[in-house]
Amino acid sequence: MTATTSTTTYASRGMRHRRPRRSVVPILALLVIWAGATGVLALWWSDTTSVVGPAGWLTGAGRITGLLAGYGCAVLLALMARMPLLDHTIGTDRLARWHAFGGRCTISLALTHTLLIIWGYSLTSHTNVVSQTSTLVLRYPDLLKGTAGFLLFLTTGILSARAARRRMSYETWHYLHFATYLAVFLTFGHQLSNGADFVGNRSAQAAWYTLFLGVAALVAWYRFAVPVRRGLRHRLRVAAVHPEAPGVVSVHLTGDHLDELGGEPGQFLRWRFLTRGLWWTANPYSLSAPAQSGHLRITVKTAGGHSAALARLAPGIRVWAEGPYGAFTARRRTAPKVLLLAGGVGITPLRALFETLPGQVTLVYRARRPADLALRSELDAIAARRRAGVHYVVDEPAAYSSPLTARGLTDLVPDLAAHDVYLCGPPGMTQAAITALRDAGVPARRIHHESFAF
């Protein structure tokens, strides 16, 4: 049994490497976010004549944190609106990290705002905090709805913590986040009705309405209108389902005008299969082959109820696809040499890149057993056609294993530090690989990966 094989690595004929331009969109996006936060602080400053005594300082701090929390809600929704400009340049996983960090900050600001306002108002009215809380919630306009929205935000934040996410399915987590739309709606009225910076200030109200209506329009267009329009336009259907390895299948799809989707190797779409038990959720799966005018393919490993059901799909089932998404494409490349490092079903986006990336490309594919090496015949054919290097590494039998360390990788790819690395695999493997690559001298800017964990 041969678990590790390789072919000599050469640059493919007729494929020239072009150094990509580094996108300025991530920097501009952060500048816009911080400029908006500065504008929010300027709104408080312009509307505050003086701050006197402990009650004034507490109430003033409560107003600032409340304004920033409201602004944070708009930013969070904009980051997850799935705008192609942001998604294709910043990357879906990076946007998700920004969203998660922003969510923690927004919930913290909202909680701080609540506590400071209650404390400051109780000092002003010389009452205890319990009585003051009751007065605020029950007697101030829209504050009962605002309280419900805040509690909804807090619940979503708690259930989004990593420990909680591990105990729920992707579908449950995904639909739970729709509750944030309701939370924003409930708290929006409270901001304008009770916020000292908005009451009687028509300019501030107009700016706040413009911000939230603009974000709502982006969400409605990119997350709802565009998927429906594309579903009707492309008329995707399941053509066939083929087994690739134990627990791994490829789903072949046909449709109309698929070239208009613009899917690049390395990207993924969110697939909604319109059949019983699957129609209500859209799950992300990468393209496992370059898109063609009338054919798409995804390769999926059984990891839950949704992915397991794909093996039983019948030809002719209608499919809606949202996307393409992600920046895990050839545009990230910065060096003439490239290593594609795959673990398990992480081979799917790398298989498409292996066929299409120009220049000198080496593939290292890790799996538990030789039987788990999905798409191996295709990879061998691509390697032979473009005279590229491919190494298969398995854990069992131990005689054919290779440690995922700097030494283990440089044994396979001696000039590893001169490579760009595209990495895709399970979270544990990905973290170990990043550590090994950094120890081997690969700069962080040359390690490209997107996490599909939620």
Do 290 and 354 meet the contact criterion of CB atoms below 8 Å apart? no
pLDDT number for residue 248: 92
Place of tokens 């530090």: 417
Q: How confident is the model at residue 25 (pLDDT cuts 50, 70, 90)?
A: confident
Nearest 5°: phi and psi at 131?
Answer: -65, -40
pLDDT per position as a tens digit, 123-167: 988 899 899 888 888 888 888 888 888 898 888 878 777 666 666
Please state, in angstroms and rounded to a whole number, the distance separating the CA atoms of residues 370 and 239. Answer: 28
For 453, the 3-state DSSP assignment is coil
Q: How many helices (H) and strands (E) does the chain have?
A: 16, 11
Query: Taking residues 257-267, what's their average pLDDT?
Result: 86
Tens of pLDDT, residue by residue over 54-78, are: 888 999 999 999 999 999 999 999 9
pLDDT over 60 (residue 310): yes
State the average pLDDT for the chain: 86
The model's pTM is 0.79
Burial of 423 (C-beta count, 10 Å sphere; 0-12/13-18/19+) = buried
Residue 137, both tokens: 């919630």
Q: Where are the alpha helices (DSSP H) in 260-346?
A: 305-309
- Per-residue pLDDT, averaged over 39-63, amounts to 87
pLDDT over 90, % of the chain: 47
Burial class (CB in 10 A: 0-12, 13-18, 19+), 424: buried
pLDDT at 17: 44
* Nearest Cα to Cα of residue 392 among 450, 343, 351, 355: 343
What is the DSSP secondary-structure string of 314-336? PTT-EEEEEEEE-S-SGGG--SS
Spatial contact of 409 and 436, defined as CB atoms under 8 Å apart: yes
- Long-range CB pairs of 134-140, under 8 A, 24+ apart, other chains included: 140/193, 140/194
User: What tokens does 171 get?
Assistant: 């579908």
